[in-house]
A and B are shown apart, each in its own frame.
Chain A
Amino acid sequence: MSSQAIFYKTPKDLPREEWFASGHRLCAGCGAGIAARLVFKAIRGPTVVVNPTGCVEVSTSCYPYTAWKIPYVHVAFENAAAVASGIVEAMKILNKKRGKKLHDVIVFAGDGGTFDIGIQALSGALERGHNMLYICYDNEAYMNTGIQRSGATPIGAATTTSPAGKVIPGKQERKKDLIAIAVAHRIPYAATASISHPLDLVNKVRKALEIEGPKVLHVLAPCVPGWRYPPAETVRIARLAVETRYFPVYEVEYGRVRINIKVKEPKPLEEFLKMQGRFSHLLRPENAHVLEALKKAVEENWERLVKLEESGVTL
């Protein structure tokens, strides 16, 4: 976290209000649920959430119940950034013409709705520059439909459409770099965060809300059935993702990269992998080459970020 933007120093500084209510239907130990609870604690005033189709949507908005104590909008899967664009601009013009109260607009979207089917709407919204915070909770596959690969699934991970087969051992392609895509739009703020580091997460949400323009926050949110681990391990696995450099926690503010959690001595990637069923095949000798490819992708990404930070280059 940058020094100038600490809104919450300890968990006690967080408001007691729960805008994302308990009683929703997410799985026990769901990382996305933890992310939602934290994110909406950091709102700063009137706020509306736009949530595309996905796990969080189906688990929190099943008529006649709702887990949302703030205004909530769901329309479809691929259009959250567009719906949010319309809300932002309508609020602005209605505020000017008829004094309607301005609301912060937060998109809360999964990786399928962001990396894949929603990428066009997201790109359009970022290019147009609407004042919104787009948050992707990333559980690295299409979990709501039963764990299919997405553009956010890492190399080697087994999903129901990239199974660990005898010939093809899991997904063969790299994960898309969402932050690089976002930053390519020259937006003022893009960052990653992990539910294992809640203060970093809530401060980034709040910091982003203070910045005018489009902001993107990419939050790693482990998935119990999709990653295949016991429900109690969600936060531990999220922390290992950070500590192994698998998921670097950094921010890009006006094009300048800052790594928020310096992982000087990373734990072996295997410590993160071995806790999850989706990677179990990677630890078998015949798949050593896939494990190597994943390690290479992880190291390259980390080194790239370090170089970007050290060089002080503006992206």
Chain B
Amino acid sequence: MARQAQERIAIMGDEAVALAVKQSNVDVIAAYPITPQTIIVERLSEYVANGELDAAFIQAESEHSALSICVGASLAGARVFTSTASQGLALMHEIVYATSSMRVPMVMAIANRSLNAPLNIHCEHGDVMPERDSGWVHLFATNVQEAYDLTFIAFKLSEHPDAQLPVSVNLDAFILTHSVEPLTPISDDDASKFLPPRQPLYSIDFDNPATFGTMALPDTYMEFKYQLKEAAERAGQVYPKVAEEYARISGRRYWYFNSYMADDADAVVLVLGSTYGTLKAAARRLRESGLKVGVIGLTMFRPFPEKQLVELLKNAKSLIVMDRAYSYGGLGGPLYMETLAMLYRNGLRVPAMNVVYGLGGRDFRLDEAESVLKMALDGARRGRFDEHVIWWGVRA
């Protein structure tokens, strides 16, 4: 049966996430206001206040408590959502690790924003990177439609018996959270079919009592952590099945990454978040001039899709990894360091350079994207880059 044409609406990223959460049959939402995620929870509180969403909305007295409330609610068997950014995520940090290690399903939208100091409310991935090693699944949206779609996928993946892990949906501060873009929503019926009420594997139940959050001494702690490692890897294996199921109701197919002409490109640029769109537009121009450039925008950063990326990069002659975050005193940005490790241990000797850009929301324009792609082409032509890491546009 042919699908009915779906209505297209204009909506900003925060509102699109709120709409997806509303359609996801969520039971408990707990959050604390922080720019630029505030609109997500404002909309959700409106939905609840107007009776459009049958859920408990709790504004906590801090992000630390917001995430703690979510843990309690999820252990009680609820489908749970929170969202935050920057300082808020940093304040949650302790509980971020408890959430994944206790295998508590939930979804968190992160409006990626820089970390103080200096105080700055604009786009950066430096807030989520400290949560990189937590065991959470981290998904990145490149546009508003993806932020919406990935929210559904995140709930399904989070509660999947093979995963049982919290999932973050990352969307770039202001660039996505506050930009109005076209969106094709799925119907409420389709949403309910995709996400029926949560059936927890285990929950707080007096008739079947369990002890959650035990202490584990050196004789058992490592086994807990090994199970977390296994779960994180399984989440990566389950993800395409969940994405495929979502494709059946939405017509939109998600993969570990978006890619634009990367498979036959000489020079490839790898990036997270909305900059993928800018690079893709620039790459299209260069392709029109016959320049063999390609772009990859990673959708799933954790677990890291090593096998699939290696397959895509095996013929590349150069690679630039763009990071909107940095590991100070380290070898570069987090995505770059991960990619280097991946290349090395898979025997790919492609020259790779790190471009650190856009910290604290500094604009990265189309012409700059073109320059980075050309720089990658130059690396491909010469078989090397002169530097390991450059800070794009910085006045040093």
Contacts and interface: CB of A to CB of B under 8 A. Distances in A.
A237 interface: no
A165 interface: no
Give the top 5 A-B pairs by smallest Cβ distance, nearest first: A86-B72, A124-B61, A46-B206, A86-B69, A82-B68
Given A61-B211, A76-B95, A93 B69 contact: no
A69 interface: yes
B72 A84 contact: yes
Nearest to A88: B72
B82 to A, nearest CB: 10
29 contacts: A47-B206, A58-B215, A62-B217, A63-B220, A64-B220, A70-B209, A71-B204, A71-B205, A71-B210, A71-B211, A73-B204, A74-B213, A79-B95, A82-B66, A83-B68, A83-B69, A86-B69, A86-B73, A87-B204, A90-B74, A90-B77, A90-B80, A92-B56, A93-B27, A93-B56, A93-B78, A94-B76, A97-B27, A101-B206
Contacts of A296: none
Given A93-B27, A97-B54, A128-B58, A62 B98 contact: no
Nearest to B205: A71
A79 to B, nearest CB: 4
Contacts of B80: 86, 90
A62 to B, nearest CB: 5
B61 A90 contact: no
B214 A86 contact: no
Contact of A48 (B62, B71, B197, B206): B206
B236 to A, nearest CB: 26
Interface string B160-187: 0000000000000000000000000000
Contacts of A50: 72
B250 interface: no
| Interface range for B | 35 or more
User: Of B68, B80, B98, which is in contact with the most chain A CB atoms at under 10 Å from its CB?
Assistant: B68
Contacts of A73: 72, 75, 204, 212-213
A91 B102 CA distance: 19
Nearest to A128: B58
Contact of A90 (B72, B197, B206): B72
A5 interface: no
Contacts of B98: 75-76
Interface string B260-302: 0000000000000000000000000000000000000000000
B71 A75 contact: yes
A54 B78 CA distance: 27
User: Of A71, A98, A103, which is in contact with the most chain B CB atoms at under 10 Å from its CB?
Assistant: A71
Nearest to B71: A75
Nearest to B94: A76
Interface of B: 27-28, 30, 54-56, 58, 60-62, 64-66, 68-78, 80, 94-95, 98, 102, 197, 204-207, 209-217, 220, 224
A85 interface: yes
A57 B216 CA distance: 11
Contact of A79 (B27, B68, B75, B212): B68
B55 A72 contact: no
Contact of B78 (A45, A90, A120, A121): A90
A70 B208 CA distance: 8
A303 interface: no
Interface in A200-233: none
Given A73-B212, A94-B27, A101 B205 contact: yes
B76 A86 contact: yes
B216 to A, nearest CB: 5
B132 to A, nearest CB: 20
Nearest to A72: B211
A277 to B, nearest CB: 28
Given A48-B204, A71-B204, A75-B71, A93 B65 contact: no
B72 A83 contact: yes
B58 A89 contact: yes
Contacts of B211: 61, 66, 68, 71-72
A216 to B, nearest CB: 16
Contacts of A69: 209
A46 B204 CA distance: 10
Contacts of A124: 60-62, 65
Nearest to B223: A63
A75 B30 contact: no
A75 B72 contact: yes
A54 to B, nearest CB: 11
Contacts of A100: 76-77
Nearest to A121: B65
B190 to A, nearest CB: 20
A121 B58 contact: no
Contacts of A253: none
B90 to A, nearest CB: 15
A76 to B, nearest CB: 6
Contacts of B54: 93, 96-97
Contacts of B71: 75, 83, 86
